[in-house]
Amino acid sequence: MFKPVCRQAVRQLASINRAAIGGKRHLHAPVSFDWKDPLNVANNYTEEELAIAETAESYCQERMLPRVLDAYRKEEYDRQILTEMGELGLLGATIQGYGCAGVSSVASGLITRAVERVDSGYRSGYSVQSALAMGGIEEFGTEELKERLLPQMAKGKLLGCFGLTEPNHGSDPGSMETVAKPHPSKKGVYLLSGSKTWITNSPIADVLLVWAKLESTGKIRGFVIERDQCPPGTLETPPIKNKNGLRASITGMIQLDECPVNEANMFPEVEGLRGPFSCLNSARYGIAWGTIGALEDCISRAREYSLERKQFKGNPIAKYQLVQKKLADATTDAAYGILAAYQVGRLKDEGKAAPEMISMIKRQNCDRALINARALQEVFGGNAVSDEYGIGRHVANLFVTQTYEGQSDIHSLILGRAITGIQAFC
């Protein structure tokens, strides 16, 4: 039913399509406005990217969407989803080799957007696997680690998670307390102790990328913990329940009590916050795409509701100026947001994306998605309280995306520092 993301097949398809539409350019016929893509960003995608987007979109709408209402109510995550995405080649899609699709950053953004159009929780699960866990291993791991783990992770057979945040150190990971010290007797083995929290996928992860301070140097290093190698009692990953949002994703802690990890599973070169921040950059880039996907779904739902809901003499409420303004505002922010994410995607592949650019699009797209989703929720009036309209779920999810991987105020100060050269974290 769904086309796997395969470069060759797609490319052929693309060239055919391009030939077919080739002659139409520059005819300057009257141009129609598409509220789903108001600034015609699709015009900028390659045929390959369009094909990948279509694959992802179909899968998400046909297979993910039917599960989400129940998952959200019960606060359950179906890990089968990652396996299915793996089968379609959507996991770790920008990685070259190791069984990964090797697509552009824009294509990867389009996948992310398709997933979050369904639910930010599903997107979180996807981002953690692709950008944080696989991305981290690909960027910093030894060749042995990559060859052993990445192909299995790409297929969704092994699930990953990413342990950086600690209970007392949210915005300031540099103060982390998790520590790695040499095993008193076994050479080449470290013992990790400490506690991580708000870790998406941790309760079901097979591969846990955990950042800890090396006792000897005080420097932060990355460790790949393989759950099946951990002696009983050294690794616990209890789930965190009763969340206000992202209820269709699974979140938990990572509790390490002298958990042994082979030195070969430590990232050999990267030290300090550069490692985790590099991974987070990729994840944040994905969030910038994803949150606009969620907003686009809100627009679509609110638009449809406003056309169907009639009040006062049978007028659809879409006729009311106050409703139209909400739709116009949201559509504008969605269009600007996707365009900005697209631009950074292209720059990323050219090696020209500064981290502050990603702070900018992560912050802005989360904020604007949230603000507009809330405004659109008003269109539903009292009916918004019913979870069947889906928009309340997006609103609750988007608030969480605004707070994680750098709360918006933190990104404001990162940008402020980049603009003024002055640190204002006090």
Q: Does the footprint of a second copy cover residue 282 (CB under 8 A)?
A: no
Contacts of 184 (CB under 8 A, 6+ apart): none
Q: Tell me the DSSP string of 205-217.
A: -SEEEEEEEETTT
Distance in Å, CB of 288 to a second copy, minimum: 11
Q: At what angle do helices 321-349 and 274-308 cross, to 10 degrees?
A: 150
The one among 60, 161, 253, 353 contacting a second copy by CB under 8 A: 353
* HSE (side-chain half, CA atoms, 13 Å) at 403: 12
Distance in Å, CB of 160 to a second copy, minimum: 20
Report how many residues bind a second copy under the rule CB under 8 A.
112
Residues 396-425 within binding reach of a second copy (CB under 8 A): 396, 399-400, 402-404, 407-409, 411-413, 415-425
Would you give the distance in Å from CA 252 to the centre of its chain? 17
Residues 38-97 within binding reach of a second copy (CB under 8 A): 38-41, 43-44, 73
Question: By C-alpha distance, which of 374, 271, 292 is closest to 334?
Answer: 292
- Please give the C-alpha separations between residue 178 and each of 189, 211, 253, in angstroms, as whole numbers: 16, 8, 13
Q: Which is nearer to a second copy, 56 or 299 (CB)?
A: 299
Q: Does the footprint of a second copy cover residue 105 (CB under 8 A)?
A: no
How far is 369 from 399, CA to CA, in rounded Å?
9
Question: By C-alpha distance, which of 409, 401, 408 is closest to 426?
Answer: 409
Q: Print the binding letters for residues 304-323 with a second copy: x by CB under 8 A, - otherwise.
A: --xx--xxxx-xx-xxxxxx
Distance in Å, CB of 145 to a second copy, minimum: 22
Q: Does the footprint of a second copy cover residue 245 (CB under 8 A)?
A: yes
Q: Which is nearer to a second copy, 25 or 187 (CB)?
A: 25
Distance in Å, CB of 24 to a second copy, minimum: 9
Residue 316: DSSP 8-state: E
Q: Does the footprint of a second copy cover residue 21 (CB under 8 A)?
A: no
Q: What's the N-to-C CA distance of the chain in angstroms? A: 55
How far is 350 from 361, CA to CA, in rounded Å?
18
Q: Does the footprint of a second copy cover residue 336 (CB under 8 A)?
A: yes
What is the β-pairing status of strands 189-200 and 179-182?
antiparallel
Distance in Å, CB of 202 to a second copy, minimum: 14
Distance in Å, CB of 217 to a second copy, minimum: 21
Q: Which is nearer to a second copy, 1 or 426 (CB)?
A: 426
CB atoms within 10 A of CB 9: 13
The one among 363, 366, 369, 372 contacting a second copy by CB under 8 A: 363
Distance in Å, CB of 94 to a second copy, minimum: 14
The one among 62, 144, 147, 172 contacting a second copy by CB under 8 A: 172
Residues 22-41 within binding reach of a second copy (CB under 8 A): 25-29, 31-33, 35, 38-41
Q: Does the footprint of a second copy cover residue 360 (CB under 8 A)?
A: yes
Catalytic, 405? Answer yes
Residues 248-267 within binding reach of a second copy (CB under 8 A): 251
Q: Which is nearer to a second copy, 41 or 204 (CB)?
A: 41
CB atoms within 10 A of CB 180: 24
Q: Does the footprint of a second copy cover residue 277 (CB under 8 A)?
A: no
Contacts of 337 (CB under 8 A, 6+ apart): 288, 291, 292, 295, 361, 364, 365, 368, 369
Catalytic residue among 49, 75, 116, 405: 405
Two tokens, residue 14? 């693309």
How far is 365 from 405, CA to CA, in rounded Å?
13
Active-site residue set? 405
